[in-house]
Amino acid sequence: MTVAPEPQLRFVSGTHGRGPSTLSSTEPITVCVRAADPLSRAGIVAQLGPRPEVRLLSREESSPGVLLLVTDVVDDDVQVQLRRTQRTSETRTVLVATAIDGQQLLNAAECGIGGIIRRADATPEHLVEVVTSVARGQAHLPGDLLAQFLSEFTRVQQEVLAPRGLCATRLSPREREVLRRLAEGQDTAQIAESLSFSVRTIKNTLQKVMIRYQLPNRTAAVAFAMREGLI
């Protein structure tokens, strides 16, 4: 059985990776609409065109504030587009999908999606609301999809990753426990004694976390883990 890459576990927000949004409350949000078929694109463009909150860009223009990607399902082609956008620009992405299941939600999360809208819910008002929210560094996921996402995440963690000693949060159980105890004020010697490891093992565990997330020191590692809800 092939193990899928560890999902990112969270939809992109302004406090991770890209920093807080500096978007002015009166500045129109630049939006590029991309769709697999011209009819779908024309429909979204027609809904957003008259709205003063957004300014539509042509497909040739680069670096929109938000990419609105219209699709039926989150297939391989869509994932490639999402990853390319995440890797090469500061653009945030909103997905308008006909249908999406639990595994596709995990795939979207792994690709750093900012928000998801069902096609059936894509009214002009809702589109603008979600685009504005995502542009300001927030995330949007309908409540029932959130429950589905959490259920699928739990299944993957329990059935696929945990038996192999992996963790979808990118922190192992040992790393989480070490950071938790560090946050409680224990030093490395105390942590090593309480967990029955050597001091060197504890230091190596912390060093791996700091290198993985490019954190300058242990304090930053604890702050990062707490901010991201990992401990």
How many whole angstroms separate alpha carbon 204 and alpha carbon 58?
A: 50
33: enclosing H helix or E strand? strand 29-35
CATH topology of domain 171-227: Arc Repressor Mutant, subunit A (1.10.10)
In DSSP notation, 51-82 reads -TTEEEE-TTS---SEEEEEESS--HHHHHHH
Q: Which residue has the tokens 């769709």?
A: 35
The segment(s) of the chain belonging to CATH 3.40.50.2300 are 29-152
CATH of domain 29-152: 3.40.50.2300
* Sheet containing 66-71: order of strands: 54-57, 29-35, 66-71, 92-97, 115-118
pTM of the model: 0.57
Per residue in 186-195, pLDDT (tens digit) is: 899 999 999 9
Per residue in 140-161, pLDDT (tens digit) is: 887 777 666 666 666 666 676 5
The better pLDDT of the pair 31, 183 is held by: 31
Residues 6+ apart with CB under 8 A from 146: none
Q: Note the helical H segments in the chain.
A: 38-48, 76-88, 102-110, 124-135, 143-156, 173-183, 188-195, 199-212, 218-227
Q: What is the mean pLDDT of the chain?
A: 79
Lowest mean pLDDT among 71-75, 79-83, 141-145, 207-211: 141-145
CB 109 within 8 A of CB 11: yes
The segment(s) of the chain belonging to CATH 1.10.10.10 are 171-227
The better pLDDT of the pair 113, 1 is held by: 113
* Residues 122-133, mean pLDDT to the nearest whole number: 94
Q: Is it the case that residue 4 has pLDDT exceeding 70?
A: no
